[in-house]
Structure formats: structure tokens, C-alpha cells
């Protein structure tokens, strides 16, 4: 798709989007970045990988960066907003918050900006999981704006969602290569997932409770994604011993 064929989110039916968010837990949001803004994001992702990560203390790198099996390519980088001012400002864009405010019905507060990359040919899979499994909040009002920096397609590892799974609450998770995944009994008896193809500059919105994954990228085209995560301003973090 080209930019002109993708509807900007401001031109979408946001009442319908809010309904689908409640029912399905995930939806295609439309265009959120212009071509110039997309180029700027690509520049800063490249800058972050080349100049910011190599200068971080080793203990911070261990906590915030994952590298692919080639030992070089960045698979994911977490808490970029806490490390780099540009990404903090990006995640706090008022137009993003306005979109999410109108879809969720509550006030969004940025808690993380992360990049999830799938380099061509070697991009690894993400196991089925719920984002709220990593976030001890009450209530679990969490929403993510997943922005495609390259076209995300079936071939290069687009996200897959189990629509409506957010209504079942938080499931039991078990250890996985990159954190946690929902129990194997769900994956084995879960029905068909919906692939969310997202053209570059556009975004998907998903609940922190929807179960989702992404397959490996065995194609010749990379798949860069940038995620902005928000919690409701009314939520509170639980202590380790709470509840």
C-alpha cells in the first residue's frame, strides 16, 4: 500500500473502533505517521542502535536489549523512553494519546517505548503472550500502539492476535526464550489467530490482555516495529507482595 491508500486515523469511525477494541481487543488504526515522520523514526532507531546502545552500561544493556542469534542484530530494545529523550517525546505525542483516549475511554499515560525488529532472514519469533503478564497493575487497563516502521506482512512476521482473548483475563504464563508465554494448553487449543498486516507508517492498537504472537521472519525483507505502551492514569502499580 501507499500512503494515499491508507486512511488516516482521524478519518476513521472512532466510535466503531472503540466498540471493536472492547469486543476484539485489537484493531487496525490506520495511518499515524507521515512519510517525513516515518523517515525521522527510522533515523532515530538507527541512531539508537549504532550510538546509544554501545555507550550504555553493561548492566543496562542486559536488562533492556535483546540480540538475534547472529550476535549483532538488535531484536528488541526496551524502555527507550527512559534512556533517550527523543523516544520519550515521541511516546508522549498528544495525537497518539488523543487516539487512544477516544478508543479506550480512559486517560493514557506512557509507560514504555520499545522497538521490536525482525531482520530479514533471521528475525526470531515471539511466543504467544499477554503484555499484562509483565506489568503488575490494578486494574489491568493497558493499551499498546504498535507502529509499523516497515510494512508488516504475513511473510516477514506480522503480529497475530487471538481476537476476544482479552475478555478471559490474565492467563497462566510459563518461561519462554524471551520472557514468558501463555501455557501450552492454550496454544494447542486456541483456534485460529488473526494476522494483522500493517503498512509502514500505520499502526495497530491492542489491549494488554489480548493474546498475541509473531512468527519468525524468513523473508528477504526486514520488519521494524515501534511500540508505545500506555496504562490508564487511574491504574496503580502493585508491589511484589500485593494481592
Q: What is the pLDDT of residues 94-144, one digit of tens each?
A: 999 999 999 999 999 999 999 999 999 999 999 899 999 989 999 999 999
Cβ(64)–Cβ(178) under 8 Å? no
Does residue 15 fall inside a structural domain?
Answer: no
Structural domains of the chain, count: 1
For residue 131, being part of any structural domain is answered with yes
DSSP state of 50: I
Residue 7, in any domain of the structure: no
Residue 80 domain flag = yes
What is the reported pTM?
A: 0.92
pLDDT band at 241 (very low <50, low <70, confident <90, very high): very low
Q: Is 238 inside any structural domain?
A: no
Closest C-alpha among 160, 156, 170, 161 to residue 243: 170
Residue 143 structural domain: 24-226
Within-domain flag for 2: no
Which tens digits make up the pLDDT trace of 7-22? 888 888 999 999 999 9
pLDDT recorded at residue 174: 81
**HEC sequence for 95-108:** HHHHHHHHHHCCCE
Residue 182's nearest CA partner among 205, 157, 165 is 165
Residue 149, C-alpha cell as written in the block:
516502521
215: in domain: yes
How far, CA to CA in Å, does 215 sit from each of 123, 128, 172?
9, 10, 21
Rounded-to-integer distance, Cα 139 and Cα 106, Å: 12
Half-sphere CA count of 220, side-chain side, radius 13 A: 0
CATH code of the domain containing 159: 2.60.120.620
User: Of 206, 134, 205, 213, whose CA–CA distance to 170 is shortest?
Assistant: 134
Amino acid at each position: 500500500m501507499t500512503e494515499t491508500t491508507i486512511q488516516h486515523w482521524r478519518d476513521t469511525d472512532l466510535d466503531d473502533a472503540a466498540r471493536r477494541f472492547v469486543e476484539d481487543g485489537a484493531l487496525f488504526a490506520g495511518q499515524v505517521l507521515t512519510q517525513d515522520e516515518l523517515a525521522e523514526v527510522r533515523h532515530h532507531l538507527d541512531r539508537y542502535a549504532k550510538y546509544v546502545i554501545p555507550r550504555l552500561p553493561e548492566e543496562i544493556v542486559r536488562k533492556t536489549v535483546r540480540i538475534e542469534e547472529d550476535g549483532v542484530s538488535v531484536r528488541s530494545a526496551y524502555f527507550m523512553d527512559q534512556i533517550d529523550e527523543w523516544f520519550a517525546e515521541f511516546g508522549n505525542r498528544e495525537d497518539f494519546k488523543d487516539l487512544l483516549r477516544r478508543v479506550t475511554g480512559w486517560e493514557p499515560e506512557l509507560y514504555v517505548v520499545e522497538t521490536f525488529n525482525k531482520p530479514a532472514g533471521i528475525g526470531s519469533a515471539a511466543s504467544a503472550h499477554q503484555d499484562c503478564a509483565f506489568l503488575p497493575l490494578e486494574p489491568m487497563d493497558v493499551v499498546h500502539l504498535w507502529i509499523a516502521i516497515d510494512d508488516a506482512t504475513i511473510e516477514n512476521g506480522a503480529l497475530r492476535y487471538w481476537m476476544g482473548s482479552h475478555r478471559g483475563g490474565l492467563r497462566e504464563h510459563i518461561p519462554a526464550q524471551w520472557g514468558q508465554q501463555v501455557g501450552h494448553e492454550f496454544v494447542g487449543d486456541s483456534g485460529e489467530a488473526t494476522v494483522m498486516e500493517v503498512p509502514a507508517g500505520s499502526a495497530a492498537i491492542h489491549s494488554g490482555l489480548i493474546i498475541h504472537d509473531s512468527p519468525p521472519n524468513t523473508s528477504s525483507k526486514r520488519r521494524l516495529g515501534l511500540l508505545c505502551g500506555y496504562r490508564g492514569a487511574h491504574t496503580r502499580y502493585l508491589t511484589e507482595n500485593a494481592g
